[in-house]
A and B are shown apart, each in its own frame.
Chain A
């Protein structure tokens, strides 16, 4: 039920933000289209924890400012590499372990790595990611630990259980 309500609320916000015409006719047409969209997505079986992750909204809202700061720093780094007279890049392929086990948390972590300039996720394996980095020393074993921790907490939050070492 929470998935349906959160999708309806999100769609209402989206419609109001895009439309700008608030006459009764257009509002009712918008209501009909929102209802249709919700019914269709319920029939497609995509109203689940990946289709409407409302429970993670607060966690992601907390995670986003930190991610934006990381992206800003990495941007400065890569821009410097682009404009430096002599190319001093030192690319490397590294395997990054992740402790998140839900697909959603893994997706957020892998997308955050790709979003940060200088690192791209190339392959996703069950509990680790293959990452290509522009600078080898910026991609050490501990470089992604904080991002993993934070993205895992953003999605799984209170439900995240401390896990023993597992490989």
Chain B
């Protein structure tokens, strides 16, 4: 029992540190996703970079917020938000990709994607 109380107290001390570390990490992942979606050559590959923001960044940030949550109600709402994002995120990505495909946008395949762009005026 003593050990359990020590564990709970230690967790209470470490909680803000975990949260404070994970939230900026998630924000960094979101920035990396944005950098990727600026650097990648065409529409479909940019969608891949955006999905880092959709999954990794969101999950890490929500876990960080869960460590910082003052009450279990906040925690349960964070879980609901996470489930909602994980259900709607791929649906939205698929809708965008499917619309582009239906409209006839051809993806760059293989070496085309990394070839230097030729400027056409």
Q: Is B110 part of the binding interface, using a Cβ–Cβ cutoff of 8 Å? A: yes
Q: Contact string, B66-89, partner A, CB cutoff 8 A, digits 1/0?
A: 000001010011011000001101
- With A18-B77, A83-B35 in contact, do A78 and B86 touch (Cβ < 8 Å)? no
* C-alpha gap A119/B76 in the complex (Å): 30
Q: How far is the CB of A53 from chain B (nearest CB, A)?
A: 12
Q: Is A79 part of the binding interface, using a Cβ–Cβ cutoff of 8 Å? A: yes
The answer on a CB contact under 8 Å between B94 and A89 is: no
Q: For B44, B51, B77, which residue has the most chain A Cβ atoms within 10 angstroms?
A: B51
The answer on a CB contact under 8 Å between B35 and A114 is: no
**Which of B49, B97, B107 is close to A82, meaning CB atoms less than 8 Å apart?**
B49
The answer on a CB contact under 8 Å between B56 and A75 is: yes
Residues of B within 8 A of A18 (CB): 73, 76-77, 80
The answer on a CB contact under 8 Å between A120 and B94 is: yes
* C-alpha gap A64/B56 in the complex (Å): 15
The answer on a CB contact under 8 Å between B55 and A120 is: no
**How many residues of chain A have a CB within 8 Å of chain B?**
38
Q: For B40, B73, B94, which residue has the most chain A Cβ atoms within 10 angstroms?
A: B94
The answer on a CB contact under 8 Å between A115 and B89 is: yes
Q: Is B13 part of the binding interface, using a Cβ–Cβ cutoff of 8 Å? A: no
Q: How far is the CB of A92 from chain B (nearest CB, A)?
A: 6
The answer on a CB contact under 8 Å between B32 and A17 is: no
**Which of A82, A112, A115, A116 is close to B39, meaning CB atoms less than 8 Å apart?**
A82
The answer on a CB contact under 8 Å between A91 and B93 is: no
- List residues of A (35-92) whose CB comes within 8 Å of B's CBs: 68, 71-72, 75, 78-79, 81-83, 86-92
Please give 11 more A-B residue pairs, beta carbons under 8 A apart, in addition to A82-B40, A86-B114, A114-B94: A14-B80, A18-B77, A68-B59, A79-B36, A79-B56, A82-B33, A89-B114, A115-B54, A118-B51, A120-B51, A122-B94
